[in-house]
Amino acid sequence: MILFGTDGIRGRYGDFPLDDSTIKKIGCSIAKSFGNTVKKVIIGHDGRESCGAILDCLTDGINFINNYDIINLELFPTPSLPLILSKNDSEDAIGIEITASHNPYLDNGIKIFNKNGYKISSELERKIEEIVATQNDVNKTSSTKFINSSPMKSVYIDFISGLLSSIKECPTNLNVAVDCANGATSRVINDITFPDNISLNIFNNSPNGLNINDKCGAVYPEHLSNIISKINKKNDMEHIDFGICFDGDGDRAILIDRSGNILDGDDLLYIFSSNSKISNKVVGTVMTNFGIRRSLKENGIDFIESDVGDKNVLEAMITHDAFWVLNHQDILSKAV
């Protein structure tokens, strides 16, 4: 039985493997695969219509044999889970994000993170699949009581706010447009503290379960590009300096410059790594264009090629102690 793809479990809600019966088995199998080392399960979602039903089925399965503390982050971005887990000194928690990332709202999925904040290994994925294949139906319906999630949310919000406050060089007034894709970043963007000289223009931050990634966000950066172009042509005094388009679960971003030009992952990899004093190593994939590779080399930056896929680039990043990582044309990750 194959459940996992390149980035967790994904499919159309209601169809295998995201039918209610299988989701409950997946929850039970997750609990069994981690054993007694886990006491808490932290769960977030990206706001799709089916997220609530999947959450209920998952927690029914997770608590089928033992009762775990379930911390429901509700609408919260995927990158929060690695951070929260990495700062959990007791190392007794795992994380789950209910999301189908950049897919339409009818799809959904499950991403699982281990106690250190990394996506689970291929070996553990196979173990979960094996348990699901032999697991009897989970008929128990649990009355899950969610633990207060505010402290966990604050870990992420305070961290991002702290990063922003540490910015040393910034124009006197910086006007930034943000497209939340009607997804996981839609609420948290208002909880983050920005320096006084940074103003936000926020778009597509009204999720209704059906409008995630709908002609907006990283899937459709042309939307924000057109807005920026129109505003900047009309008004020199209140111009937008740049824009950020997130995808549904907030783990992918595309940037747009003040002229409305869309910057892909190769562009960002070169800009960030060329201006970084932290490391002279970057990880890209077989898809990274050779012009960028040549420019990096001319600037004394080592380019390390990895196969495509989150796990492959992460492994290369750890192995080579690199700081900047590019996976596909539009995903740029920063090792913190």
Same domain flag for 172 and 320: yes
Domain boundary among 121, 148, 175: 148
Edge-to-edge order in the sheet of strand 332-334? 302-306, 281-285, 324-326, 332-334
Please say whether the beta carbons of 313 and 288 come within 8 A.
no
Same domain flag for 206 and 304: yes
Does 101 qualify as catalytic in the annotation? yes
Same domain flag for 123 and 164: no
Same domain flag for 327 and 185: yes
Same domain flag for 172 and 144: no
Q: What is the CATH number of the domain that holds 283?
A: 3.40.120.10
Range name among 50-54, 253-257, 284-288 with the lowest pLDDT average: 284-288
In this structure, the strands spanning 281-285 and 262-263 are unpaired
Same domain flag for 226 and 249: yes
82-107: average pLDDT: 96
Q: Between the CA of residue 156 and those of 27, 173, 242, 266, what are the distances in Å?
A: 25, 25, 24, 27
Q: Say how far apart CA 151 and CA 44 lie, in whole Å.
A: 14
Which stretches of the chain are DSSP H helices?
Answer: 20-34, 51-62, 80-86, 122-134, 150-165, 222-234, 265-274, 290-298, 310-320
Q: Indicate which residue of 101, 142, 225, 306 is catalytic.
A: 101
pLDDT above 80 (res 120): yes
What average pLDDT is seen over the chain? 91
Please say whether the beta carbons of 192 and 164 come within 8 A.
yes
Domain boundary among 114, 148, 182: 148
Q: Say how far apart CA 36 and CA 333 lie, in whole Å.
A: 32
State residue 229's pLDDT score: 96
Q: Say how far apart CA 13 and CA 54 lie, in whole Å.
A: 8
Same domain flag for 102 and 199: no
The H or E element containing residue 257 is: strand 253-257
Same domain flag for 245 and 324: yes
Angle between helical axes of 20-34 and 122-134 (0-180°, round to 10) = 120
Same domain flag for 120 and 10: yes
Nearest to 108 by CA among 18, 211, 213: 18
Per the structure, how many domains does the chain have? 2
pLDDT above 50 (res 336): no
Domain boundary among 125, 148, 171: 148
Handedness of CA 305, 303, 264, 252 (dihedral sign): positive
Same domain flag for 175 and 291: yes
310-319: average pLDDT: 82
Confidence of residue 46 (pLDDT cuts 50, 70, 90): very high
Contacts of 230-233 with CB under 8 Å at 24 or more apart are: 232/258, 232/259, 232/260
Domain range for 238 is 155-334
In this predicted model, what pLDDT tens digit does every residue of 165-209 receive, in sequence order?
887 667 678 999 999 999 999 999 999 999 999 999 999 999 999
